[in-house]
Chain A
Amino acid sequence: MRSRQNIVFCLIVAALLPVLTFSGGVKQEAGASKKEVKGVAPAKLIVSGIVGNPGKFLEKQKELYQKANPLSVVEWVTTDTNTREQVLKTAIASGDPPAIGYYWGTRVNSFYKNGMCLDLKSYFDQAFIDKIDKSMLQPCLGKNGEIFALPFATVYHTTFYNKDMMDKYGFKIPETWDDMTAIFKRLKQDGIFGFSTNSASMQDCLYGITYGELETKVGPGTSWGVANGDVSVAPGSPAGEVIRSCILQVKAWYDAGYWYPGKSGINTTADDANAAFAQGKVIFIFNFSGALSTHQDSCKFKVGAFMKPTSKAGMKSYDNIEPSVYFIPSNASKDQIYGGVEFMKVSLSQEAQQTVVSNFQTPSVQNYAYSNVSDTLKGIMEKLSSGNTIAGINPTRTSSEMQTFIKTQIFAAPLGGTMTIDQTLNEMERLRLAAKAAAK
């Protein structure tokens, strides 16, 4: 009797197991196909991927869009720098996408190579596309001419400085690494640190010192090649040895105690770094140019910006443009697409672009007549046409794994002693090769 009961029980479990295991299945949805721009703006237009507070120019876009579409309300979904990609991809993959994703232009390829971005080419006429700065649009283009995203502003990694402190000590803008070291050495005597940066999640701001070195010492186009995964960075390779020299220079600054706040410099948050700069504890901060508004608001002193110094005098300095782009998920609904397209048109209007300029960011339409452009922003915008700033030379666009590595480990690992410089370069090379293999 008991054995019969056991047999019946085992049979029930055995029957249920396959049902549980193989029922449901995996989502097979391949994404929405191209839709026409017919529809109505959704009651709620969700724009996801905003880092921190939306800021005045985003609020202006919202105001203009809602004026034109009174029945549609814009809702921001804010994220952290670290979780931005996660939040967007989770929403899209789960079938509940926002109407618009807001992301870094040079890294939006991590979305469109997974089929997550709608091709916008058929939704905008050529005249509209032509007014956008080509260098900012370039990272948003697919291999076959698709337009997967549109930039509305751009930033690039720069070095902000405390103008008042520079004047007080009589320092000139440093052009070489030795100039920087001399400034740091002098300030250390007065208990002031040389520089700070958001090393917890944005070490690529500091990584920018490699671009000028790569372009000069290896050859023009090397930075792009490294970011594209085409150029080897293994120990012993030309590009690898240039990166090694940059790491060694930063290590020298770190070991000498010039990096705020000391040993924790390799794991400092954006808030800590910005606060230290505002409090006059450091003279320089490696940041992205969009942080100018943060520094203008929080600093009582005048803030300036300069391109990163190079190892030798006379070398040209370069930095990476990072357009802020909007894209529409490929599985967005018809109404979301309609609303998204309208929002993008508004974001590139003269009024919206003027607000970008008024808030110390660089607009993506250069041909409008802008008023009240601050001196610092003029200097930043001039760099865009100087040829010193190039989109897509940041290797964070190679792959998501490379992005994590560059942002959190490229300096922290060798400086903190968890990896040797050889191991750091080998890891970077491994990630490069893995990205190339995945692309095939």
Chain B
Amino acid sequence: MQRFLRTIVLVLAAIALPSAVAAQERGTVTGQVTDQNTGAPIVGAQVAIVGTTHATVTNREGRFLLPAVPTGAQTLQVVYIGYQTATIEIQVTASTVADVALTPDILRLDELVVVGYGTQRRRNISGAISSLDPSAVVEDAPIVSVDNVLQGRVPGVQVTQNSGNPGSAITVRVRGASSISAGNQPLYVIDGVPMTQGNFSMINGAFGGQDIDALADLNPNNIESIEVLKDASAAAIYGSRASNGVVLITTKRGIAAERPRITVSGYYGVQQAWNKIDMADTDLYIDVYNEAYGVPIFGYSDDGVANDFEIEPGMNTDWLDQVFRPAPIRNFAASIAGGSGPVRYFVAGSSLNQDGIVEGFGYERLNGRLNLDYTASDRLTLGTNVALTRGRTRRSASDNTIYGPFANAIASPPWHGIYDEDGNYLSPFYANPVGLAKENFASERSVHILGNMFGTFNLFSNVDLRASVGLDHYNLRSYLYDSPIIGPAVGSGGASTSGDAYVTKLVYEATVNWLQQIGTDHLFSGVVGTSYEDNTRESSSVSGQSFPSSYFRYITSAASITDGDADLAEWSLVSFFSRLSYTYADRYTATFNLRADGSSRFGADNRYGFFPSGSLLWRVSDEPFLRDQDVISDLAFRLSYGRTGNQQGIGNFASRGLYTGGANYEDTPGLAPDQLANPDLKWETTDQFNVGADVAFIENRLGITADYYIKTTKDLLVSRPVPRTTGFSSVTSNVGSMENRGFELGVHAELLRGGPQDFNWAMDLNLSRNVNEVTELYNDQPFVTGFVSRVEEGKPLGFFWGYKTDGIFRSQEEVDNHAFQDDETAPGDVRFVDVNGDGVIDDADRTLIGTPWPDFVGGLTNTLSYRGIDLSVFLQFSSGNEIYNGTRIYTDAYGASPGDNVSARAADRWSPDNPDGTEPRATADDPNNNARDSDRFIEDGSYLRVKNAVLGYTFPASIAQRLGMRNLRVYLQAQNLLTFTDYSGFDPEVNYAGEADVTRGTDFYTLPQPRTITFGFNVGF
């Protein structure tokens, strides 16, 4: 490899040298760049002589100096984000002055937008791309992860934080879910390197669906821009992994400036649970269970009755209060951007520390980044980006577990305390929640190295060659300890697991970019390239048990080693791609993309997939007939169609028939069939049609973007069930299809634009609607997964499937007159609907009882400023989705198991004394199975949330300068300040099984998100 790199560098250098020879008349160009409205100097604007390599960046006074510019007629171009690009013709003499005033441009039509393997002017982009400047989002809010930045900010993107577990994975869906099991997270590309995503933990068992994600290691503070490629035209150049959209992330770079720009920021805050569900107190608990058992099993020790369980009077423990705690969060970040001569640099570091609102949870991150650019010659630019992250996630068992502190705090009965007289944890039924939180723990430490080296060589004035090598190395150390005192390892004298995963991705990439203007009206641009990506994952883990005492927690002290594992897995991807774009008269653009990907995951005959796309753009506002008016400032229509692929989520060798080792007996090795062959296995493909329009009115003060799309996914990669009589339960196959149709709308309005010293009010609204339908399954076979989630043709993915209820029986007569439920069904039991009318309530009566997919999601941001004061309020909402509140299977089964405390709803249970009760009767053996999967536990999951509110104050420049600062701002921020919902559980934003779409929208003892209040500052030097 080194030999190859050396060759490339030598070749590039050889071509570069001769260009430095020719000599010409030279002159100097100086000037100042200012804001046209305010006259304020613009710092950091890019100034360049078009068609040459003469370029620089404005300094603190907005001034620039371009030395040694060839004399004569030249074109000066000034580019700065948020302003329209200025292009002026100048006559360069020995000393030329050119001052430029830039016009603010909220649509940023002339801004260069990062697209796959290159950049394009926004004006000419024909695909559906949403851009997000994250600085406004992350500088103020305690947003820990890059995927969270997208929440509620981008039309067509639905972000769900699955739980309140710090550092855990977040569900991001770009235009719905297009796959059943091949994965639906978008592809993240950081400075051109597809990032390692996903969960590589070696200790997954106890944490429900709340996986950790390698993506969490990316520090959102260092991001310059985020582009979300949504339609096929934009995304198809990423081919085989673009079905779920692509998130292109560009990190900040250095600037050429006299003095480096130093930024320091930090915040400190407290997170707290904002909601609690109402559980029974001791009195109610005793009533319910004694009623259920028909005899007084529980009673107070002073009531003069002998009970099986004598409860100390006054004992009434609120277990949720015992495990919840106020948890601090703090972040400190600093960065320096600068440059001199040929070198530009960006250096940043940050430290984040977040505790969980339940002991045992937390997330810490230390992050450093160095981005370097080196202009080696007029033609050759070299650069490197390196980010180092040290992460630590602390975890406790959660969700679907009987050993989780939070789960057990819901379940534990109120009539006992934490400790007995001897200081031992009291666990009459489930393990004591406080004990679990204090004694058992798990942590994952990661070291994440993300970097690339690249060189761009300007072969001809309009052709650039670029080569890069990218590395994403992720090392995760997992550690789990279960104490001998409490929890799952009591019987084994304590248990521990230590594991390591080394995940390495190497990406080699070479591209040729080309731009050709012919005449004044014909602009051609294109890119061709190839890349090779090699992924390896090496992992090992060891488990041991039986420790001398709870003091000893590492396996070196374990009496026996119970499990060990070491493994190497590898997969690779070879790709060729191209894009050709043609613009006529700056009004009509056509773009065509083609990518071919070969993956080692598929059989030899189906390795390569081809992913073409095409799009058209018509910028109507530049037509002559719209020029002489000033109402419509921009109007464009976009149309695209294309194909993308998906190969996530399947095994590396899913097409092969395999035997596995590890089927051991008597500690001698064994072999067993592991997988059926499917030599025909191939890519899952998504064809997407998109039509969209961009329109802006009145000097761009109101801008609207609207898109409609139809995504049709076919050859779904599904682990399809096969008759188990074969000895296998499933085979990975391309079966079935799915459709997502949707509409998305983005509105930006500058309601008041009064200049920096006046009242300003901007509003951003986005609204998305996506309708998902599974259109075909193998042999039309539906399947059920999770609790009540079902996948069936003609229905949305993972809709809720169960019994319908119709209140409760009030009398034996009602029981007798209804369809048969059970011999022992009695008044007070739930009446289930006989959907098929056969007179019997059985499996055949289950039906659609809800869907986890919302009708609409979106966000509304209002940003107001007046002089130094700014206020931003971000509302985020989801409407029309249901939640299966699975926790209620246990909390609302009144009397079923004394280990489970019941919901306070039990107070209104039916009984002969409370014949109008709305809740089912208390019963110990529940013959009617009142807690079965039914719409009793389906709830409206719609919500409106004040996700963020920020009140900030920027000190006047005079004060800041007196303190030696360029600027100074302080702010007060609240996250999850208010939530409006009818949902009776903790938090309507919930997925107990993490990001799995087939089991979406189920709550099962899932830790809720906290409310976070922070105070922070930003300082520039």
Instruction: Note whether A and B form a binding pair.
Output: no
